[in-house]
Amino acid sequence: MEPVLNLNNDILGLVFILLCLGLTLFFTYLSRRGSAIHIRDIPAFRHFHREVDLAVEAGKRLHVSLGRGSINDLQGGAALIGLTILDRCAREASNSDRPPVTTSGNGVITILSQDTLQSTYRSLAAEERYDPTNARLTGLAPMAYAAGAMPAIHDEHINANFLAGHIGTEVALLSEASERSRSLSVAGTDDLTGQAVLYATCDEPLLGEELYAAGAYLGANPAHIASLRMQDILRWALVAVIVLGAVLKLLGIVP
Amino acid sequence: MKKILPVANAIVAVVSGLLVLLGYFFPGVFGGLQSMLIGWAIILAAFALLLGIFNLGMVHWKKIGKDGSGSIYSIVLLISLAVTIVLAGLNGPTGTLSLWIFNTFQVPVEISLLAILAVVLVYAAARLVLRRPSWYTILFLVTVVVVLLGSVPLFFLGEVAVLTSVRGWLAQVPAVAGARGLLLGVALGTVATGLRILMGVDRAYDG
């Protein structure tokens, strides 16, 4: 019985991935043709551009913290979104005297953040602005990561902090440091406990799927808007399946 | 060369990602390749960690060069890093000296930070009313208080049955429903991010 169930699960998984891919490609095609879509207002992203402009005008820096998730497992997804935010920060603050500073709690994410900064400056023909010490590994354990990132918030003339990645309850310490240095904190994590803490401590929390919408809101690429539409459609489909399953179970039709 | 390298990087990343993904669905055909690629990734991650530690040393070396009140912390960090690497290298990660360093310095510091975290959370909860005055905030704080009171025996009263059962209901029904909703969003977001990487749209490896 077990192998048959596994086979069914594998086929369902493959069909789901292909469905996601098909919808993303379809909406990317529509998006490239200029078909406009409406996306709801998320205050955190509305404030992003304002904070970047303020940082450039005030000669201050932006801080992007990418968490301590490993790229080898599910936690890497949130960190990759953080890299997209880092790319947008570096682009929009490219004429600032102080380039953005990045902290992370994982070696691979640190290398990727250095790579992102370097490729962004290269694409802007400003490679001389790239400094590898602006992308830092602060610590590998949760508290070590937070303890290493806090001095960056306090001491580096930070105007706004974007915390995006796999970050647990230690995010409260980063938000507190941000509050004390009178800088804005915009934060999102894939960790449920971290999200609960964010709601209480952060200026602009990004909950659930909001973090993954960052690319679409920050104007990264048409594929980001397409994948946002794909997520919306599949979310409603999954909600319908869950409700249907609950009703069928309530009626005793399924065990 | 500057144009060829990013394209080659993208091809290697997309093909590797596809092979690992197919390995989950067709383990008989792609399972071996998948294991090999994941093994390579783990080795590369270990080297990335070494580079990250080198980067940490560089950052603090530069800080020492600058005049500032924080440079003493950088000196302490660099000395601690060097001593730990030497002792753990000679003694092994589970040797007496390595464990002494861990138990004497790392554990107390982390526990102290956890204690600070508890204070920060209480302070943040109190400040939330001023920061975000809304019905959701009041609901959030009332829920926190009820769950806390229902989790511990109270002075003179012991365990209050009503609070314990309300806490149980909150933890099992609304909290689980909310958590599932959030996890659904996170899962779909992770799939979308992975697909953009496989499509070569998001390239964090472009440098």
Domain ranges of chain B: 131-195
Which of A112, A137, A228 to probe by mutation at the B interface, max B CB count within 10 Å? A137
Question: Do residues B148 and A169 make contact, with C-beta atoms less than 8 angstroms apart?
Answer: no
Residue A6 is predicted with a pLDDT of: 64
Q: In chain A, which residue's Cα lies nearest the Cα of B196?
A: A223
- The torsion angles phi and psi of A222, rounded to 5 degrees, stand at -60, -30
CB–CB contact B189 A200 (8 Å): no
CB–CB contact B179 A192 (8 Å): yes
Taking CB atoms and an 8 Å cut-off, how many pairs form between chains A and B?
194
Question: Do residues A104 and A138 make contact, with C-beta atoms less than 8 angstroms apart?
Answer: yes
Residue A254 pLDDT exceeds 50: yes
Residue B5 pLDDT exceeds 50: yes
Residue B50 pLDDT exceeds 70: yes
CB–CB contact A111 B48 (8 Å): yes
Q: pLDDT tens, A91-129?
A: 888 888 888 999 999 999 999 999 999 988 888 888 888
Name which of B41, B50, B190 is nearest A72 (Cβ-Cβ).
Answer: B41
How many Å apart are CA B115 and CA B118, to the nearest integer? 5
Mean pLDDT along residues B177-198: 90
Of the candidate ranges A12-21, A156-165, A225-234, B124-133, the one whose mean pLDDT is the lowest:
B124-133
Residue A45 is predicted with a pLDDT of: 85
Residue A222 is predicted with a pLDDT of: 82
Residues 6+ apart with CB under 8 A from A101: A61, A62, A63, A64, A134, A135, A136, A152, A156, A158
CB–CB contact B45 A223 (8 Å): no
Which of A157, A176, A189, A197 to probe by mutation at the B interface, max B CB count within 10 Å? A176
Tell me the CA distances in angstroms from A134 to A129, A138, A235, A241, A247, one per residue in order: 10, 12, 38, 46, 54
Residues 6+ apart with CB under 8 A from A147: A138, A139, A173, B109, B113
Residue A1 is predicted with a pLDDT of: 43
Residue A7 pLDDT exceeds 70: no
Contacts of B58 in chain A (CB under 8 A): 132-133
- The torsion angles phi and psi of A158, rounded to 5 degrees, stand at -85, 135
Q: What are the residues facing A61 on neighbouring strands? A: A158
Question: Do residues A187 and A163 make contact, with C-beta atoms less than 8 angstroms apart?
Answer: yes
Amino acid present at A233: I
Å from A30 to nearest chain B CA? Answer: 16
More confident residue, B190 or B153: B190
Q: pLDDT tens, A22-68?
A: 999 998 888 777 777 777 788 888 888 888 888 888 888 999 999 99
Of A73, A142, A52, residue with least CA distance to A104: A142
CB–CB contact A133 B110 (8 Å): no
Å from A208 to nearest chain B CA? Answer: 5
CB–CB contact A107 B182 (8 Å): no
CB–CB contact B59 A133 (8 Å): yes
Amino acid present at B59: V
Question: Do residues A204 and A43 make contact, with C-beta atoms less than 8 angstroms apart?
Answer: yes
CB burial class (10 A; 0-12, 13-18, 19+) of residue A97? exposed
CB–CB contact B205 A70 (8 Å): no
User: What tokens does B161 get?
Assistant: 């049955």
Q: In chain B, which residue's Cα lies nearest the Cα of A13?
A: B25
Q: What are the helix (H) ranges across chain A?
A: 2-32, 43-58, 76-92, 107-123, 142-155, 171-180, 192-201, 214-217, 222-250
Mean pLDDT along residues A183-209: 90
Q: In chain B, which residue's Cα lies nearest the Cα of A144?
A: B110
CB–CB contact B50 A108 (8 Å): no
Element (H, E) at A62: strand A61-67
Name which of A201, A207, A230 is nearest B182 (Cβ-Cβ).
Answer: A207
Question: Do residues A94 and A63 make contact, with C-beta atoms less than 8 angstroms apart?
Answer: no
Mean pLDDT (chain B) is 87
Which of B64, B102, B195, B203 to probe by mutation at the A interface, max A CB count within 10 Å? B195
Residue A220 is predicted with a pLDDT of: 59
A195: left (phi over 0), alpha (psi -120 to 50) or beta: alpha
CB–CB contact B188 A235 (8 Å): yes
Contacts of B201 in chain A (CB under 8 A): 221, 223-224
Mean pLDDT along residues B168-190: 91
How many Å apart are CA A31 and CA A223, to the nearest integer? 8
Q: In chain B, which residue's Cα lies nearest the Cα of A154?
A: B70
Q: What percent of chain B has pLDDT over 70?
A: 95
Please work out, in degrees rounded to the nearest 5, the angle formed at the alpha carbon of residue B181 by the alpha carbons of A146 and A160: 35
Å from A53 to nearest chain B CA? Answer: 24
Residue B167 pLDDT exceeds 60: yes
Which of A201, A225, A229 to probe by mutation at the B interface, max B CB count within 10 Å? A201
Residues 6+ apart with CB under 8 A from A51: A62, A159, A160, A184, A186
CB–CB contact A107 B51 (8 Å): yes
Mean pLDDT along residues A158-171: 92
Å from A253 to nearest chain B CA? Answer: 22
